[in-house]
Amino acid sequence: MIALMIHGGAWDIPDDLVEAHRQGVARALAIGWEILSKGGSSIDAVEKSINAMEDDPTFDAGRGSFVNSIGEIELDASIMNGSTFRAGAIAAVQNIRYPISLARSIMENSEHILLVGTGAVRFGREHGILQCRDDDLLVGRELERWKELQGKENVSTKDAFRKKRPGDTVGAVALDENGLIVAGTSTGGTPNKYPGRVGDSPLIGCGTYADSTIGGVSCTGWGEAIIKVVLAKTVVDMMEHNGGDPVAAATQAIERLEEKVEGYGGVIVLNREGVPAVFFNTPRMARAYCTSAMASARIEV
Ligand code: ASP
pLDDT tens digit string along 215-234? 999 999 999 999 999 999 99
Judge if the beta carbon of residue 205 lies within 6 A of ligand 1. Answer: no
Ligand 1 atom closest to Cα of 222?
4
Cα of 291 from ligand 1 centre, angstroms: 26
Judge if the beta carbon of residue 99 lies within 6 A of ligand 1. Answer: no
Judge if the beta carbon of residue 223 lies within 6 A of ligand 1. Answer: yes
Phi/psi for 230 (5° steps) reads 45, 60
**Helix, strand, or coil here: 284?**
strand
The protein residue whose alpha carbon is closest to atom 4 in ligand 1 is 223
What pLDDT, on a 0 to 100 scale, did the predictor assign at position 154? Answer: 58
What pLDDT, on a 0 to 100 scale, did the predictor assign at position 153? Answer: 58
What pLDDT, on a 0 to 100 scale, did the predictor assign at position 156? Answer: 59
Cα of 38 from ligand 1 centre, angstroms: 32
pLDDT at 155 over 80: no
Q: Tell me the percentage of the chain whose pLDDT exceeds 90.
A: 93
Judge if the beta carbon of residue 246 lies within 6 A of ligand 1. Answer: no
Cα 29 to its chain centre, rounded Å, is 14
What pLDDT, on a 0 to 100 scale, did the predictor assign at position 165? Answer: 65
The letter for the amino acid at 95 is: N
Cα of 78 from ligand 1 centre, angstroms: 13
* pLDDT digit string, tens, across residues 118-144: 999 999 999 999 999 999 999 999 999
253 or 154, higher pLDDT: 253
What pLDDT, on a 0 to 100 scale, did the predictor assign at position 150? Answer: 87
What pLDDT, on a 0 to 100 scale, did the predictor assign at position 296? Answer: 97
Cα of 221 from ligand 1 centre, angstroms: 5
Q: How confident is the model at residue 78 (pLDDT cuts 50, 70, 90)?
A: very high
Determine the Cα–Cα distance for residues 283 and 12; give it in Å rounded to an integer. 5
pTM metric for this prediction:
0.96
Q: Are 3 and 40 in contact (CB under 8 A)?
A: no
DSSP per position, 92-147: EE-SBS-HHHHHHHHHHH-S-SEEEHHHHHHHHHHTTPPB--HHHH--HHHHHHHH
Q: How confident is the model at residue 30 (pLDDT cuts 50, 70, 90)?
A: very high
